[in-house]
Structure 1
Amino acid sequence: MKSAVSAVPMKDRILEAADALFYGQGIQAVGVDAVAAQAGISKRTLYKHYPSKDELVAAYLARRTGQAIPFEGPPVEQILGLFDGLAKWFGSKRFRGCAFVNAVAELSGERQHPAVGVASEHKARRLAHVQALLQQLKVEEPALLAEQLMVLFEGAVAVSMVRGGDPQVAASAREAACVLLRHAGVALGRDARDSAR
Structure 2
Amino acid sequence: MGDTRDRIVKAASALFYRQGIRAVSVDAIAEKAGLTKRSLYYHFRSKDDLITAYLEARDRPNLDAFDRWFEEAEGDAGAKVRAVFGHLACAARSPKWKGCGFLRSAAELVGMPGHPAIRAANRHKAGFEAWLADRLAAAGAADAEALAQQVRLLMDGAFAVVLLNRDARYMDRAGEAAEVLVRAGMGAGR
Aligned to 1:169: 170
Aligned to 1:54: 48
1:75 and 1:136 in contact (8 A); partners too: no
1:159 and 1:169 in contact (8 A); partners too: yes
Encode CA deviations 1:17-49: one digit per residue, 9 max, x unaligned. 101111111111111111101111100111111
Per the TM alignment, residue 11 of structure 1 is displaced from its structure 2 partner at its CA by 1.5
1:160 matched to 2:135: no
Alignment of 1:139-150 (within 5 A): 139-150=141-152
Aligned to 1:180: 181
Q: 1:14 aligns with which of 8, 13, 22?
A: 8
When the two structures are superposed, what TM-score results if normalisation uses the length of structure 1?
0.84
Separation of aligned partners in 1, 2:139 and 2:186: 9
2:81 and 2:179 in contact (8 A); partners too: no
Q: Determine what percentage of the aligned residue pairs are the same residue.
A: 39
Letter in 2 for 1:128: A
Unaligned runs of 5+ residues in structure 2 are none
Separation of aligned partners in 1, 2:97 and 2:18: 9
Letter in 2 for 1:175: E
1:87 and 1:171 in contact (8 A); partners too: yes
Separation of aligned partners in 1, 2:34 and 2:151: 42
Alignment of 1:1-197 (within 5 A): 9-68=3-62, 69=65, 70-71=67-68, 72-73=71-72, 76=77, 78-164=80-166, 166-185=167-186, 187=188
Following superposition, which runs of at least 4 residues in structure 1 exceed 6 angstroms of deviation?
none
The CA RMSD measured in Å over matched residues stands at: 1.9
Separation of aligned partners in 1, 2:80 and 2:179: 13
Which SS does the other structure have where 2:58 is aligned?
helix
In structure 2, the CA distance between the partners of 1:55 and 1:75, relative to structure 1 (3 Å rule), is farther
Separation of aligned partners in 1, 2:56 and 2:3: 17
Encode CA deviations 1:120-156: one digit per residue, 9 max, x unaligned. 0000000011111111122222222111111111111
Separation of aligned partners in 2, 1:136 and 1:17: 39
Unaligned runs of 5+ residues in structure 1 are 1-7, 189-197
Per the TM alignment, residue 109 of structure 1 is displaced from its structure 2 partner at its CA by 1.8
Encode CA deviations 1:98-134: one digit per residue, 9 max, x unaligned. 1111111111121221111110000000001111111
Separation of aligned partners in 2, 1:178 and 1:127: 16
Aligned to 1:3: none
1:139 and 1:185 in contact (8 A); partners too: yes
Separation of aligned partners in 2, 1:176 and 1:120: 24
Per the TM alignment, residue 181 of structure 1 is displaced from its structure 2 partner at its CA by 2.0
